[in-house]
Amino acid sequence: MAIKYDRKIVTEDGQEYYGFGFGDTTKEAMCELLLNTAMVGYQEVISDPGYTDDMVLMTYPLIGNYGIAEEDFETKTPTIGGLIVREYNDSPSNFRYTKTLSEILEENHIPAIAGVDTRMLTRKIRDNGSCKVYICNADKPKEEALEYMNTHELPRDAVARVSCKKRWYSRTFNPKYNVVVVDCGTKLSVVKELNARGCNVTVVPYNMEARIIEGMNPDGIIISDGPGDPADVPVVIELIKELKGKYPMFGISLGFELICMAYGAKCYKMKFGHGGGSHPVRNLKNNRVDVVNQIHSYTIDPESIDKTELTVTHKNVIEETIAGVECVKDNMFAVQFEVDNTVRPEGCENLYDMFVKMMKEEKENA
């Protein structure tokens, strides 16, 4: 008896990949196809604002087996474009789970598909680079999907949609510092890490004016991670130019790219980007290697860095792409990876601790 598929993925070169729908099984969507190689953490992936609008292909073959736990979200409203998996388990075994992956995707109108040959798709991305894909019902004519992809552009306003619309606060016991997080798509884990280190946190919209931030008298500023092309948010680049050197500053992922551009470096799109939790990054100061989670499709042109005041501090071991910079005179550093999920060699300092230390020294020398 023939298998009856109900959904499919159409790539922009006309190939079709059939499977079984879950999540929102009625929605059609055009997205950019990206990889994630993590074995666990699919809840953090679907709720990471850095994946806004993207169709994420999970290379690990079994997804959904431990369900969804309420306290593990990176944002309460997932904005991922869609999800592709080899095998989906809709019967989780986990005492912490409150909903299934499919239920969360359906609630947030996110389409997903299982049963796809993810190894073939992964090789396609590896060899040819990321591409547009269209998810739809299996009986939709391929020509209609291709026509839609040929006549429509991918959205470029992701930061504006995922950034908070007004400032919000997260306070802690016995606070020592006040930190402003410029929200380009920040994750809740960033705020939790700061709170745990004695920081009261004010999260502000990406387009907040510099004078308003200065009026908050922050001890430090974080330019958060987030989705998309850094060139799409020039307002943040201008904000960094106005604030740099006035306060200790720390940039994460998209924040790293924006800070580099504010200092005059150039950014370009990678063939298929980085997505997953096993990327080795070398700290050039001590020659030690951290294993980090990197989620980005853009990186910095190394030749353009040489013409700025920035010093390279980290590099991806495999591809030699720049993964960290600093400007000592401005009390600024930034990294192209997720800080809270980093596996560090013994004796290596956590970057949040470095940021707190920087704020402490600034206050003592004021």
- Predicted confidence (pLDDT) at residue 2 exceeds the cutoff of 70: no
pLDDT single digits (tens) 136-167 = 999 999 999 999 999 999 988 999 999 999 99
Task: Give the length of the chain.
Answer: 366
The answer to pTM > 0.85 is yes
> What's the pLDDT score for residue 225?
95
Average pLDDT over residues 37-60: 95
> What's the pLDDT score for residue 274?
86
Stretch (H or E) spanning 324: strand 322-327
pLDDT single digits (tens) 322-359 = 999 999 999 999 999 988 755 454 445 689 999 999 99
3-class secondary structure, 347: coil
- Predicted confidence (pLDDT) at residue 21 exceeds the cutoff of 90: yes
Q: How sure is the predictor about 81, in pLDDT bands with cuts at 50, 70 and 90?
A: very high
> What's the pLDDT score for residue 353?
94
Helices (H), the chain: 42-46, 101-107, 118-128, 142-151, 158-162, 188-195, 210-215, 234-243, 254-262, 302-305, 351-365
> What's the pLDDT score for residue 349?
61
Spatial contact of 219 and 362, defined as CB atoms under 8 Å apart: yes
Spatial contact of 182 and 217, defined as CB atoms under 8 Å apart: no
**What structural domains does the chain harbor?**
7-154 (3.50.30.20), 159-365 (3.40.50.880)
Strand partners, 207: none
Which residues are CB-neighbours of 55 under 8 A, at least 6 positions away?
9, 29, 31, 32, 33, 34, 81, 82, 83, 84, 133, 135
Token pair listed for 85: 């998996």
Average pLDDT over residues 65-69: 97
Average pLDDT over residues 85-89: 98
- Higher pLDDT pick, 346 / 58: 58
> What's the pLDDT score for residue 293?
87
> What's the pLDDT score for residue 55?
97
> What's the pLDDT score for residue 70?
93
Q: How sure is the predictor about 3, in pLDDT bands with cuts at 50, 70 and 90?
A: confident
> What's the pLDDT score for residue 341?
54
Instruction: Give me the percent of the chain exceeding a pLDDT of 90.
Output: 88
SS (H, E, C) 137-153: ECCCCHHHHHHHHHHCC
Spatial contact of 203 and 181, defined as CB atoms under 8 Å apart: yes
> What's the pLDDT score for residue 278?
83
pLDDT single digits (tens) 221-278 = 999 999 999 999 999 999 999 999 999 999 999 999 999 999 999 999 998 888 888 8
pLDDT single digits (tens) 277-322 = 888 999 999 999 988 888 889 999 999 999 999 999 999 999 999 9
For residue 258, which of 222, 290, 212 has the smallest C-alpha distance?
Answer: 222
Q: How sure is the predictor about 182, in pLDDT bands with cuts at 50, 70 and 90?
A: very high
> What's the pLDDT score for residue 347?
45
110-114, 123-127, 191-195, 337-341: range with lowest mean pLDDT: 337-341
> What's the pLDDT score for residue 345?
47
Instruction: Give me the percent of the chain exceeding a pLDDT of 70.
Output: 97
What is the rounded distance in angstroms from the CA atom of residue 323 to the CA atom of residue 314? 5
